[in-house]
Amino acid sequence: MGELREHWVNLRTATPSHLRVRLVALAGAVVVALSLAAAGGGGPVAWGGTVLLGALVVLQPGGIMPAFFLVWAIAAWWAGVPGPWHWALLPAAWGLLLVHAGAALAASVPPQATVPRAVVVRYAARVGVVAAAVTLVWGLAALAVGARSGGGPLPSVLGLALLAGALLGYVRLRRHHTAPDAP
């Protein structure tokens, strides 16, 4: 019970900038719930559970709650939304990204400290890059599903190949910029 009280005190004594970062995670959870509803998946329990878990991410951004939220949201989508692709998958993925980014940023700075503007800008730029990549994969999956009725494994294979290529490019770019003789 003491740990729960500590999370509550951290939330109550958090700086306004820290609270805004935590609320980004809650906004992402609401986007996921609305996307799930728009796709015809789940029901009031799944939608309410998604928002409730998003609120718990706000309470405990540095613990297990963000991972639990992610597992819940993905399971609710897979169990409730029929078919391999749906247009609402894009806003749901963006919502998951907001939950992750908000929780990660909130966990990286003590609640009583102001979140530096430079850090917020860096996180926003990175979230923008990932959101663009997600949009690209979503669009390619839409083309693959549209070209081949029923989808099959092609969207998943295409998405994994793009993800592997993006990760490889990121690792190479990172190595280039962190090398001792880098300009």
- In order, the DSSP letters of 99-165 are HHHHHHHHHHS-TTSPPPHHHHHHHHHHHHHHHHHHHHHHHHHHHHHHHSTT-TTHHHHHHHHHHHH
Would you state the pLDDT for residue 33? Answer: 96
Average pLDDT of 109-124?
87
6: how many CB neighbours lie within 10 A of its CB? 11
d(CA 102, CA 89): 20
What does residue 149 show for φ and ψ, rounded to 5 degrees? -55, 135
Q: pTM of this prediction?
A: 0.76
Tokens 């990932």 locate to: 130
Digit-coded pLDDT (tens) for 15-25: 888 889 989 99
The rounded percent of the chain whose pLDDT value lies above 70 is: 83
